[in-house]
Structure 1
Amino acid sequence: MPQMAPLNWLILLLYFCMILVMYNTVIYTIFNYKNKDSKKISFNKFSWKW
């Protein structure tokens, strides 16, 4: 059982990262939709986060 604990934490971390990426992608899409004329600025802000 102690050997399974790190694997469970790794899976939780992976899910958290996936949710974070999806959340940022949704925010980026909404931000890009609101500012269609300034796609470069929003893309630079998105790249700066990662």
Structure 2
Amino acid sequence: MPQMAPLYWLYLFVFFIVSFFLFLSLNYFIKPFDKLDLTHSPQDLKFKIWKL
């Protein structure tokens, strides 16, 4: 039935919004890069200051 199409779009929109906010919250709480502390390391800065 064509009258039911807006309900399917609403389900897809809610799924998209929930997955988008889940992605943003995971990126906010789980930091992908761990910064190294440079205060006690007086070496040259030829290495990257982040690691995976």
Greater RCO, 1 or 2 (C-alpha within 8 Å, sep 6+):
2
Which residue number in structure 2 is paired with residue 14 of structure 1? Answer: 14
Identify, as 1 or 2, the structure richer in helix.
1
TM-score, normalization: structure 1? Answer: 0.59
User: Deviation of residue 6 (structure 1)?
Assistant: 0.6
Structure with higher strand content: 2
In the other structure, the counterpart of 1:26 is 26
Q: How far is the alpha carbon of 1:30 from its aligned partner?
A: 1.4
Distance 1:11 1:27 in 2: 24
Runs of 4+ with >3 A deviation? none
User: 1:1-50 CA deviation, whole Å, 9 max, x = no partner?
Assistant: 1111010001000000000000000000013xx58xxxxxxxxxxxxxxx
Which residues of structure 1 form unaligned runs of 5+? 36-50
Cα-Cα RMSD: 1.5
Larger Rg over CA atoms: 2
Count of residues in correspondence between the two structures: 33
Matches within 5 A, 1:28-47: 28-31=28-31
